[in-house]
Amino acid sequence: MFRRPTSIFSCSDSRRLVGVKNPAGLTGGLKWSCFPQQSISTSIPPSGQKRSTNRKWGKTKTQEADYLYGYHSVLPALERDRRVIRAVHIRQRDPIAPATPEDRAYRARLLALAQEREVRVEHRTREELSKLSGGRPHQGVVLETDVLRDLPRLTHLTGPVPGGNGGHYYGVPTDAPNHLLPLPPPQVHGRSPLWLALDRIQDPQNLGAILRSAYYFGVDGIILGTKESALPSPTASRASAGAMEFIDHFYHTTRMRTFLQKSAEAGWSIIGPMPPSSSGDEQDGKGGWGGGLPTLSLYPYSSPGPSILVFGNEGQGLGQGLTQVLTHRITIPSGNPTRSPWVDSLNVATTAGILIHALTHSSASNSG
């Protein structure tokens, strides 16, 4: 049976598989790609500002805005106070359907933060809020902000620099390569630094879920590829339950392969998730997709040092260009010996949650 070389994750349930002709004529005849199934409203918000939907990386236009929706995105954004806030849009009181105690508490906190930040509050109807949120569930609140797009760009990560503050790691800014950016020590004492590199993650729901796990388990930094990748959008913020608003070390790169290769040359381990193989090459490191690489044990996990855990596209996994710069591979074994071959992988967000938990907890207990 032909097994396409891919990562150990596949399309999420919110996406559809589309078969297209394989121009290379490889075995299988079709290659499977993932495309988001989202209906994007093109209506102009009442404020006259354009909603940022089909955005690209780079500098934003002044009229573009993000509209965060739901308390779990809006309250973190106001508390973090990193975005440029334009207005809070809140639903008018409904005497027929009184608010729940939880809703009243959220509303009171929201209005207090708006007053503290000196943010304008606009009362809207349910229909107006639905237009602002693009028809997505908003819980009666939408936050209008400048677009969060201009993430700092890094060329690569490096290790302790001679003559520098001993034991500290650094990022190399693309715009100022001679001015090293000191990175904070790992969030867990005794653990080597762990970063995530996300390349061509296209579903904002998956991006948000990964960011939520990264923040919850204490990943030290995120590097996001810009090519064919979901942006840090309101949908991603909502899927992250607001975690995206609190991540301090969030960067992007236009050249992911170069970023990983230079980081590896500077002493970082580049770890790629790979599928379990029926031939057993995950045990001896011979053959297969990513064959020849040292395989890290998941349970227990022993950190090889400062590491970058790389995740690729939902349908195609890590591209060959990225697998060529990996220094280690890791896999999640299945616990079901009778599973169908149709279920041979995990969703990328599920994979990320499992691996991040294992790498952050096991490496802390096995370090030092």
Rounded CA-CA distance 223/259 in Å is 9
Compute the average pLDDT of residues 173-202. Answer: 87
Domains of the chain in sequence order: 61-145 (3.30.1330.30), 154-366 (3.40.1280.10)
- The per-residue pLDDT for 186 is 81
Q: Which two tokens stand for residue 280?
A: 């057993």
- The per-residue pLDDT for 129 is 93
- The per-residue pLDDT for 54 is 42
Question: Parallel, antiparallel, or unpaired: how do β-strands 307-311 and 194-198 relate?
Answer: parallel
Rounded CA-CA distance 212/6 in Å is 24
- The per-residue pLDDT for 95 is 57
- Per-residue pLDDT band for 46 (boundaries 50, 70, 90) equals very low
The counts of H helices and E strands in the chain are: 10, 19
- The per-residue pLDDT for 197 is 97
Q: In angstroms, what CA-CA distances link 358 with 237, 310, 361?
A: 24, 15, 5
**Residues 279 and 288: beta-carbon distance below 8 Å:** yes
- CB burial of residue 295 (10 Å; 0-12, 13-18, 19+): middle
Q: In angstroms, what CA-CA distances link 242 with 12, 131, 197, 209?
A: 21, 21, 20, 10
Residue 208 has pLDDT above 80, yes or no: yes
- The per-residue pLDDT for 199 is 94
Quote the percentage of the chain above a pLDDT of 70: 73
**For the residues of 189-255, what is the DSSP string, one character each?**
TTPPPEEEEE-S---HHHHHHHHHHHHHHT--EEEEE-TT---S-HHHHHHTTTHHHH-SSEEEES-
- Mean pLDDT for the chain overall: 78
- Per-residue pLDDT band for 86 (boundaries 50, 70, 90) equals very high
Compute the average pLDDT of residues 310-336. Answer: 90
Per-residue model confidence as pLDDT tens digits over 123-143: 999 899 999 999 898 989 999
Please tell me the pTM assigned to this model. Answer: 0.77
Give the containing element (helix H, strand E) for 45.
Answer: none
Residue 302 has pLDDT above 90, yes or no: no
Place of tokens 């992250």: 240
Q: Higher confidence at residue 108 or residue 94?
A: 108
Which of 123-127, 198-202, 363-367 shows the lowest per-residue confidence on average (mean pLDDT)? 363-367
- Per-residue pLDDT band for 20 (boundaries 50, 70, 90) equals very low
Residue 284 has pLDDT above 60, yes or no: no
